[in-house]
């Protein structure tokens, strides 16, 4: 699939899904939202931040359900796309989603980390089609900054 086709697919799919990309998410500490090396775009870990700049918080498996956490991971995917949009000025430069690393703020007995991170993965495949399929890790952790429920970092091939 050509870059132009991916661009049109991505724009069309965002519109069909009713997704408007939010402003560039600002880092919570001393780092940048993305870096570029050659044709690789590295996206810093993004959290489930709403349009009104509120983070979704809580422990998955305790006060946050699997379905809620899946929705939070999908929101993270939207924020990742916002960073891509700002880093590249448009989504048309995306050739492939290469890798996601997802962290779930989970209770000790929660075991469904991959199902949570599917919220982000599923969105990227919905938006980019086959170019959205990627390698991935889904990791449960005892806490995340600000008690956010999910954090995901990403690597894209651009050009």
Domain with residue 66: its CATH number is 3.30.1330.40
pLDDT score recorded for residue 8: 61
pTM score of the predicted model: 0.93
Report residue 153's pLDDT band, with 50, 70 and 90 as the boundaries.
Answer: very high
Strand order in the sheet with 94-105: 34-37, 40-46, 150-158, 94-105, 135-141
Domain that holds residue 144: 3-20+43-158
pLDDT score recorded for residue 120: 98
Tell me, yes or no, whether 123 lies in a domain: yes
Mean pLDDT of 83-108: 95
Per the structure, the count of domains in the chain is 1
Tell me, yes or no, whether 98 lies in a domain: yes
Tell me, yes or no, whether 92 lies in a domain: yes
Tell me, yes or no, whether 95 lies in a domain: yes
pLDDT score recorded for residue 29: 85
Whether the Cβ atoms of residue 49 and residue 57 lie closer than 8 Å to each other: no
- 12-69 pLDDT, tens digit per residue, is 889 899 999 998 888 878 999 999 999 999 999 999 999 888 999 999 999 999 999 9
Tell me, yes or no, whether 25 lies in a domain: no
Tell me, yes or no, whether 61 lies in a domain: yes
Tell me, yes or no, whether 137 lies in a domain: yes
What share of residues in the chain are helix, strand, coil (percent, to 5)? 40, 30, 30
Helices (H), the chain: 3-16, 66-88, 113-128
The three-point CA angle 85-26-132 to 5° equals: 35
Task: Provide the token pair at 77.
Answer: 């995917």
Tell me, yes or no, whether 52 lies in a domain: yes
């Amino acid at each position: 699939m050509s870059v132009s086709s991916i661009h049109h697919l991505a724009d069309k799919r965002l519109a069909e899904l009713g997704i408007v990309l939010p402003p560039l998410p600002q880092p919570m500490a001393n780092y940048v939202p993305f870096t570029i090396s050659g044709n690789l775009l590295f996206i810093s870990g993004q959290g489930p931040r709403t349009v009104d700049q509120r983070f979704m918080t809580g422990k998955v498996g305790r006060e946050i359900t699997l379905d809620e956490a899946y929705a939070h991971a999908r929101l993270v995917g939207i924020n990742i796309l916002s960073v891509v949009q700002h880093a590249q000025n448009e989504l048309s430069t995306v050739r492939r989603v290469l890798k996601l690393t997802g962290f779930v703020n989970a209770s000790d007995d929660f075991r469904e980390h991959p199902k949570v991170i599917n919220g982000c993965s599923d969105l990227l495949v919905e938006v980019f089609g086959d170019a959205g399929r990627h390698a991935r890790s889904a990791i449960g952790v005892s806490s995340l900054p600000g008690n956010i429920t999910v954090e995901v970092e990403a690597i894209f091939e651009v050009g």
